[in-house]
Amino acid sequence: VFWAPHALESSSSCCFQFYKNKIPLKLVVSFYRTRSNCPISAIVFRTAAGREFCLDPDSSWVNSHIAKVNSRTTTATTTKTLSTTV
């Protein structure tokens, strides 16, 4: 069981409670922050399987995962850019 945002579109999603378990980093492919007018501020992790988990943005492990996912994305973009320019 996971806690998914209320709406299907990420741009209009809100979370109403946090998922309590730690998500393994290897499963996380992307994330986004819920809108400011949502009842609670949350980070939503999306997995390769398309599942979305509402998480506490103040959690240290959530912030660590965000940094690592950003690093992966930046590295992948840099590698792709370098390979297409050669």
- 55 pLDDT exceeds 60? yes
Q: For the domain bounded by 10-85, which CATH number is listed?
A: 2.40.50.40
- Confidence at 25, pLDDT banded by 50, 70, 90: very high
| pLDDT the model gives residue 8 | 44
C-beta separation of 3 from 17 below 8 A:
yes
Give the mean model confidence (pLDDT) for residues 72-79: 63
Instruction: Give backbone dihedrals phi and psi of 11, rounded to 5 degrees, phi first.
Output: -70, -20
Domain locations in the chain as residue ranges: 10-85
| pLDDT the model gives residue 26 | 96
| pLDDT the model gives residue 54 | 96
Report how far residue 20's alpha carbon sits from residue 41's, in angstroms, rounded to the nearest whole number: 15
pLDDT in tens, 32-54: 999 999 999 999 999 999 999 99
- Confidence at 3, pLDDT banded by 50, 70, 90: low
DSSP 1-68: -----SSSSGGG---SS---SPPPGGGEEEEEEPPTTSSS--EEEEETTS-EEEE-TT-HHHHHHHHH
